[in-house]
């Protein structure tokens, strides 16, 4: 089956630093990837839609200058949390959309990155 | 009002029990429906798609009622390994395949 990887799986950083998270589709090309955030005991919230070769589309309330997204190739999207603060501590999950033979899309999720900002 | 609403639970049931989860969605333009399962501190994994005609996969049965904007998941003969959070997910027509998640229903199957 399709596999999506994320790196790193967990990171602890000091307040004010920037953290880059990578999302890779390992055995298929993904023109569209999605970035989600999940706080404890809450559901996944879509942050942005990442399109290869173009600017990401951010959801309302998500600061594009704070959460930088780059989708430079068909297998890699990166999310950079700039000047991270403790309230950015969360579980960040990406997904990659793969087109099926019947014309339907299936989203495959990465294993997630747990960010803790001290 | 949230776009996708679920009873958060928790549901604590004995092994072998039958348990049902409900979900309602507010946007009538929703076109695709799924149940995902999420284990603690892990990513969500697709359990099954939900079709208007209803569909079954082993011990799991999903139903969709478009008129009532209601989705259900039935688990029969529950196993300890079924313990997880079950997420109701919809895709709105024209939303570029963006998934909208419910907050999840927590299930614990007890020995």
Query: What secondary structure does DSSP assign to B33-83, as a single string?
Result: EEEEEE-TTS-EEEEEEE-TT-EEETTEEEEEETTTTEEEEEE-S--GGG-
Does A100 have pLDDT greater than 70?
no
The yes-or-no verdict on residue A103 having pLDDT over 80 is: no
* pLDDT of A101 over the 70 cut: no
CB pairs under 8 A between A and B: 40
B101 with A93: Cβ contact below 8 A: no
pLDDT band at B96 (very low <50, low <70, confident <90, very high): low
pLDDT at A9: 94
CA nearest to A92 within chain B:
B43
Do strands B19-25 and A105-109 pair parallel, antiparallel, or not at all (unpaired)?
unpaired
Asked whether residue A16 carries a pLDDT value surpassing 70, the answer given is yes
The kind and range of the H/E element at A117 are: strand A113-117
H helices, E strands: number in chain B: 0, 11
> Which phi and psi angles does A116 have, rounded to 5°?
-120, 120
On whether any CB of chain B is under 8 Å from the CB of A80, the answer is no
Identify the residue among A23, A43, A95 best suited for mutation to test binding to B, counting B beta carbons within 10 A and taking the highest: A43
Segment A41-80, tens digit of pLDDT: 888 999 999 888 888 999 999 999 999 999 888 899 999 9
**pLDDT number for residue B106:** 94
Contact A32 B44 (CB under 8 A): no
B43, B87, B98: residue with CB nearest A43: B87
Helix (H, G, I), strand (E, B) or coil at B84: strand
- Residue B104: its chain A contacts at CB < 8 A? 43
- Local structure of residue A31 (DSSP, 8 states): S
Percent of chain A with pLDDT over 70: 93
Confidence of residue B95 (pLDDT cuts 50, 70, 90): low
Q: Distance (Å) from the C-alpha of residue A83 to the closest C-alpha of chain B?
A: 25
B2-55 pLDDT per residue, tens: 889 998 889 999 999 999 999 999 988 888 899 999 998 899 999 999 988 889
């Amino acid at each position: 089956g399709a596999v999506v990887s994320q790196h790193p799986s967990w990171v602890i950083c000091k307040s004010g630093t920037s953290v880059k998270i990578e999302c890779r589709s390992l055995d298929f090309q993904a023109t569209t990837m999605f970035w989600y955030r999940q706080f404890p005991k809450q559901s996944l919230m879509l942050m942005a839609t990442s399109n290869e070769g173009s600017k990401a589309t951010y959801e309302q309330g998500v600061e594009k200058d704070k959460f930088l997204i780059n989708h430079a190739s068909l297998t890699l999207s990166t999310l950079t949390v700039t000047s991270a603060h403790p309230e950015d501590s969360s579980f960040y999950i990406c997904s990659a959309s793969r087109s099926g033979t019947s014309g339907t899309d299936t989203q495959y999720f990465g294993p997630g990155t747990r960010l803790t900002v001290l | 009002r949230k776009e996708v609403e679920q009873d958060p639970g928790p549901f604590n049931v004995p092994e072998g029990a039958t348990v049902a989860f409900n979900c309602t969605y507010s946007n009538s333009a929703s076109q695709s429906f799924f149940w995902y399962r999420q284990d603690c501190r892990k990513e969500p994994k697709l359990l099954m798609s939900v079709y208007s005609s209803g569909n079954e996969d082993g011990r799991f049965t999903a139903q969709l009622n478009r008129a009532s904007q209601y989705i259900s998941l039935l688990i029969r003969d529950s196993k300890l390994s079924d313990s997880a959070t079950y997420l109701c997910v919809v895709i709105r027509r024209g939303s570029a395949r963006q998934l909208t998640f419910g907050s999840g229903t927590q299930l614990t199957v007890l020995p």
